[in-house]
Structure 1
Amino acid sequence: MDRIERAGKGEFGESYAGIEVDQEQVRAIVFRKPSAAFDDFIRKSAEDACVVVRDADHSARELAVWHDRVLADLPYWAHRGVRIVSIGARHDGKGVEVGARDAEEARRELLARYGATAPLIFQPADPVRPLPAPTSRIAPPPSI
């Protein structure tokens, strides 16, 4: 799997979207835009391991561009009152997930700016709240 992932990110970057480990079925699932050369590489690299290949809409490289674009525009979105909480490219190549307080508002605003075909997937999300620091309950050393 490591060999497939390294080659996917490097030599086959225009095709590779991501990899998933299905522990229950004891197999790896490689998501990629169709590529005969990459499929041949996967077949040879898999040896006796079970590797399933599935089509992806976008490569990891394509999604990285969209991720970075939305990330760079965070100050703009904050100024417009669109509260984006998280951004992350999906390993299956479907798109970039944008977590927002109001997912429908984010959908309207971001697609108006980036175009209706932008590979963005909107999810409702609350802001991250850090856990409070643990309080120390260490007893003082015994007196001698």
Structure 2
Amino acid sequence: MTSDEQHMRTLLHAAVPVLPEPRDRMAAVAARVRRTRMAGASAAAALAVTAGLLVGVPAVTSGGDGGTGMPVAAALTVTASTAGCDTSKASTEPAALDEVAHRLRVTGEADYADSFSAVEITDRVRVFRKANDAFDRWVTGEFTDACVEILDVPYSGKQIQAILDRVEADRGYWESQGVVLNTVSVDADGTIKVGVDGEKVDAVQEKMNDRYDQPVQVRGQGAVPPAIGAPG
């Protein structure tokens, strides 16, 4: 490497610092693989950008492009919170929040699968669950020193995953009906969203209502270009 090249490299490092790894990276990657399905791909949206990190099944994307989603938890109801939310002692350090979120997710999926849905990290931890008094008692009793908010959602992660899997399995059926599902995603409230060609939205919505017993919302969405390096 010449001295000029070395100087240029030094300048680039100073101007563009190395980006840190996202918190709970493996959980985020695993979650997005499970939940965000693009046409011709098994995963697409990153789950942690600016507004928070969502780990679990719901709250993948609320935007119209099937891209990086922003949490929609603000529209949901906080039904309970831990004692730590009422004091200034609850840590907002990333490592502490990650630990709380990890414990919530592991126990939620293992012991409360019929209720647990997802976890969000902002300056506190928010856990999404289908109403369950036993789960709420565990959360409020276990995390007294942390700020954890409990939010109502109508479906557990297990229920949402089941309908997502069914919609994915139905791609061939929908193609036989002349409908291509360009995107498949889910919001924090458990609403499954599919993107189809804009002129077909109304007709497809009626057919979705007849076929599925859980809300599936149809929206106009063009085909998603394949990722760079993906097989054509």
Match of 1:85 in 2: 182
CA distance in 2, matches of 1:105, 1:119: 16
CA RMSD of aligned residues (A): 1.9
CA distance in 2, matches of 1:2, 1:47: 16
Offset of 1:125 from its aligned partner? 1.8
1:119 pairs with 211, 215, 228, which one? 215
Offset of 1:89 from its aligned partner? 3.4
Aligned identity (percent) is 27
More helix by share: 2
Offset of 1:131 from its aligned partner? 5.5
Describe the superposition over 1:104-134 as per-residue Cα deviations: whole angstroms up to 9, x where unpaired.
Answer: 33212211222xx42212332221113566x
Where does structure 2 lack aligned partners over 5 or more consecutive residues?
1-100
The reply on whether 1:35 has 2:132 as its aligned counterpart is: yes
Amino acid in the other structure paired with 2:203: E
TM-score when normalising by structure 2: 0.50
Large movers: runs of 4+ above 6 Å = none
Match of 2:166 in 1: 69
Conserved in 1, the CA contact under 8 Å of 2:183 and 2:224? no
TM-score when normalising by structure 1: 0.77
SS of aligned partner of 2:105: helix
Conserved in 1, the CA contact under 8 Å of 2:129 and 2:156? yes
Conserved in 1, the CA contact under 8 Å of 2:209 and 2:215? no
CA distance in 2, matches of 1:6, 1:124: 36
- Matched pairs, number: 127
2:224 pairs with 121, 128, 133, which one? 128
2:120 pairs with 8, 15, 20, which one? 20
More strand by share: 1
Where does structure 1 lack aligned partners over 5 or more consecutive residues?
134-144
Describe the superposition over 1:25-78 as per-residue Cα deviations: whole angstroms up to 9, x where unpaired.
Answer: x11111111111101121233242211111111111111111111111101101
CA distance in 2, matches of 1:129, 1:97: 19
